Structure 1
Amino acid sequence: MRSLITALAVAMLVPAVATAQDAAPATAPVAAPQTAAPVSEMRTVTPENLLVIDTTKGRVLVELAPEAAPLHVERMRLLARNGFFDGLFWHRVIDNFMAQTGDPLGTGEGQSAYPDLPGEFTFRRDVSMPFAAVAAPAGAQVGLIRSLPVMTQPDANMATTADGKVHAWGVYCPGVAGMARDEGNDTANSQFFLMRQPYPSLDKRYTVWGVVLSGLDVVRAIKVGEGDGGMVVAPDRMTRVRMASDLPEADRPVVQVMDTGSAGFRTLLEQTRAARGADFSVCDITLPVQVSGAAAPAA
């Protein structure tokens, strides 16, 4: 049987790009004070792109990113729709890193009955994608596509490519959802992980398929494992995982998040940049989120 523990454990040994956050404790980064955003500056997440993960620690709401990883997003929709994740353990959890689940065996060696997926470590971006730039390091741009933090080649490069697009990839900030895999690039299946803290050495090496909009505190409260491997004794579990679109309307949460094309976002960006100073990164941006509708069921 494969072990999806190995690939992520190896990744932890790869030196990460140095940032001020890498050495930070498991707390929210310093940021400018936020106030409630006007309704006009919020967008509603479509139910087809909202994954509702109920756990023994609380509810986590993840916005899917089909632009970045269409095959992995479709797999997550399929497995959630089939109830595959219900009752599965958070079998591997490492503080200041991530929480991993999606293994029916609970050992790191299990998977669904569906075929493995090809890696979607990068994607092609064009002007039709709602990209909001927040920084422009030499030869690149960093920003958000909806709620997903990304790094990309500059827009100017689109004029020089045959398809009018440029390469982009998800950035492993806190709350980003990634797909676990074996040592082969095309071996992701059903196991996934949610980031507890930033870990840039995973960028372009593990498929990014979404980002937590609500419940990062829940992800950070999931029981941590032991030793370098992070395997958990008496782990927490997922109680129910569904796409919001598959829930009855009366049971469906409604999530609104700040529109990155709004004036409010530019204000938030400048406030955050001023608060962080030279240490500013896209991972420092916390988009205001409003959740209404049905509450999570009892664990």
Structure 2
Amino acid sequence: MKFRLPLTALMLGAALAAGPAFAKKKEPVAPPATALPTFTDPDVAHDPDDVLYLDLSDGGRVGIRLMPQWAPHHVERIKTLAREGFYDGLIFHRVIDGFMAQTGDPTGTGQGGSKLPDLDAEFNSMPHLRGTVSMARTNDPNSANSQFFIVFYPRFALDRKYTVFGRVILGMQYVDKIERGEPPEKPTRIIQASLASQHKAPPDFAALNAPAAPITADQLSNSQSN
């Protein structure tokens, strides 16, 4: 199986030079909040078929503007999988503080993908800024399939090496809350992924995150009798 991640062995030296968040056997150091410029999208008149919503288990909806002019085949792949419900229930399996959050693998291991064929690279000049959404891949440039990652903090060493296909335009605060880890102990899930054109309402986040009701004596007695 392939192991898709936005940090390949070939890039390890450059990544280590980029900052301590990549260093092996060291605690990742998140940049200060004041150093986190968030991408601002001045265009509010988006084609609803080019806006992807991710409803996350951490309590909010993330909106991603898909950019077919940057990577038409990758955008079409994301749309196809979202319409099929492929991303519903998947976890963010690799989340590195100060770097990025990766999802899109049905096995939750980083080694899986969809049944569709891998995509040819569509590298472009768009930088990996905070809020950038880019496709994960193996050392093979033409191996992107279903996995993607959202950047917490600028990583320009990834530019022109991974296919950027969108930017977060809504709910970056929920991206920031995604549980860290490789994999996280209690991973954040995509409850629902949909296109704005599908007009799917977000789930009841309050109910999803409400603490479980304590088991009553009667319920315990009934379960034991059954």
Does the pair score TM above 0.5?
yes
Tell me which residue corresponds to 1:154.
none
Aligned to 1:43: 44
Matching residue of 2:159: 203
Quote the Cα distance in structure 1 between the aligned partners of 2:17 and 2:44: 33
2:121 counterpart residue number: 119
Whether the 8 Å CA contact 1:178–1:209 is kept in 2: the answer is: yes
Which residue number corresponds to residue 191 of structure 1?
147
Q: 1:92 aligns with which of 94, 97, 105?
A: 94
Per the TM alignment, residue 175 of structure 1 is displaced from its structure 2 partner at its CA by 0.3
**2:72 aligns to what?**
70
Match of 1:81, SS state, is helix
- Whole-Å Cα distance in 1 between the matches of residues 113 and 13 of structure 2? 25
Structure 2 CA distance for aligned equivalents of residues 181 and 98 of structure 1 = 14
Look up the SS of the partner of 1:170 in the other structure.
Answer: coil
- Measured in 2, the distance between the counterparts of 1:30 and 1:8 equals 21
For 1:52 and 1:185, locate their aligned partners in 2 and report how far apart those are by CA, in whole Å.
27
Matched to 2:145, the amino acid is: N
User: Which residue of 73, 83, 86 maps to 2:85?
Assistant: 83
Q: Distance in 2 between matches of 1:171 and 1:90?
A: 22
Correspondences of 1:137-156 after superposition (within 5 Å):
none
What is the distance in 1 between the residues matched to 2:43 and 2:70? 22
1:201/1:112 CA distance change after superposition, 3 Å: same
Query: 1:90-145 deviations in whole A, cap 9, x for unaligned?
Result: 000000000000000000001000000000012xxxxxxxxxxxxxxxxxxxxxxx
Report if the CA contact (8 A) 2:93-2:108 is conserved: yes
Q: Distance in 2 between matches of 1:25 and 1:197?
A: 8
| Distance in 1 of aligned mates of 2:112 and 2:159 | 24
Which position in structure 1 is the counterpart of 2:3? Answer: 3
Contact kept in structure 2, 1:77 and 1:243, CA below 8 Å: yes
Query: CA, structure 1 residues 15+238, in 2 after alignment: closer, same or farther (shift >3 Å)?
Result: closer
Kindly provide the CA deviation profile for residues 9-63 of structure 1, in whole angstroms up to 9, marking residues without a partner as x: 53454158979xxx971524377xx9xxxxxx75322201110000011211000
What secondary structure does 1:235 align onto? Answer: coil
User: Does 2:198 correspond to 1:242?
Assistant: no
- Which runs of at least 4 in structure 1 moved beyond 4 Å after TM superposition? 15-19
Query: Would the aligned equivalents of 1:89 and 1:237 in 2 still touch at CA under 8 Å?
Result: yes
Structure (1 or 2) with the greater strand fraction = 1
Match of 1:140 in 2: none
What SS does the corresponding residue of 1:74 show, helix, strand or coil? helix
User: Contact (CA 8 Å) 2:8, 2:138: kept in 1 or not?
Assistant: no
Give the 3 Å change call, closer, same or farther, for CA 193–15 of structure 1 in structure 2: closer
Which of residues 103, 106, 113 is equivalent to 2:105?
Answer: 103
User: Aligned partners of 1:179 and 1:83: how far apart in 2?
Assistant: 18
**Distance verdict in 2 for CA 1:198–1:16, change over 3 Å:** farther
For residue 219 of structure 1, report the CA deviation from its aligned partner: 1.0
Matched, 1:27 2:33: yes
The runs of 5 or more residues in structure 2 that have no matched partner are 20-28, 209-226
User: What's the offset of the Cα at 1:231?
Assistant: 2.6
Q: Residues of 2 paired with 1:69 and 1:185: CA distance? A: 14
Aligned length: 193
Quick one: which amino acid aligns to residue 8 of structure 1? L
Name the aligned partner's letter for residue 138 of structure 2. Answer: D
Partner of 1:157: none
Normalised TM-score (structure 2): 0.77
Distance 1:223 1:55 in 2: 11
**Is the contact made by 1:176 and 1:208 (CA closer than 8 Å) also made in structure 2?**
yes
